Amino acid sequence: MTESPRRMARIAGVLYLLTILTGVFAQFFVSGRLVVDDPATTASNILTHKQLFQLSFTVYLVEMACQVAMTSLFYNLLEPVSRSVSLLAAFFGLVGCTIKTLGRLFYVAPLLVLGNTHYSSVFKVDQLQALSLLSLEVNDQAAGMALAFFGLYALLTGFLIIRSTFLPRFLGVLSMIGGVGWLTYLSPPLGGHMFRYIAPVGLLGALAMVFWLIVVGLNEERWNEQARAAGH
């Protein structure tokens, strides 16, 4: 590897921070305010704030791009601990990213459904509004499915961090606790009910990881020792 492990860790930390910030903006400051339980109100909000809604879709895609890159870097950083486990964790993470990205097609679908297109005239207004809200709910279900895979990713990543000699074990513990929480989305109703309790714990672990990677990085000497011991 030609890239310095410490530099790579800091880049991963920046990407992790961008993943959090873009996700929070799109989900809580846009989607959370525009999308409500009432189809007519939701449709009106989207059409009134069409550019903001389109922006949130773009931000969602930036979020996923950052997360894919971050997952790749974490694979390289944790490979000296166990190549097979690190690879498995990366696969779980990338599957989650794929599901979540494909789900965003349903997020942007209301702009097509509610647009003045020739085929929309065959539906009544209230039907188009209902279809739009249904599409957004499918997007939410896809995001929930992705969280279950992210839970597996966090569990394995936490396990690798605990076994590593170059990152503090408490980061691994926090990651595994967050992973267990996200695994509640194996049952979407349970995950949705527990979200208000799971999210703060997951966010705490994520911010701790971000702070450590950006400010401290990792112990490069110990990383090199573990890499040589693993034959890398």
Share of the chain above pLDDT 70, in %: 97
Number of domains in the chain: 1
193/197 Cα distance (integer angstroms): 9
Domain that holds residue 138: 5-225
pLDDT of residue 2: 56
Q: Is residue 167 part of a domain?
A: yes
The whole-number pLDDT of residue 76 equals 95
Residues of the chain with pLDDT under 50: 1
Chain segment 151-189, per-residue pLDDT in tens: 999 999 999 999 999 999 999 999 999 999 999 999 989
Residue 231 belongs to a domain: no
Residue type at position 66: C
Spatial separation of the C-alpha atoms in residues 51 and 197, rounded to whole Å: 32
Distance in angstroms (rounded) separating the CA atoms of residues 61 and 73: 19
Tens-place pLDDT, residues 55-77: 999 999 999 999 999 999 999 99
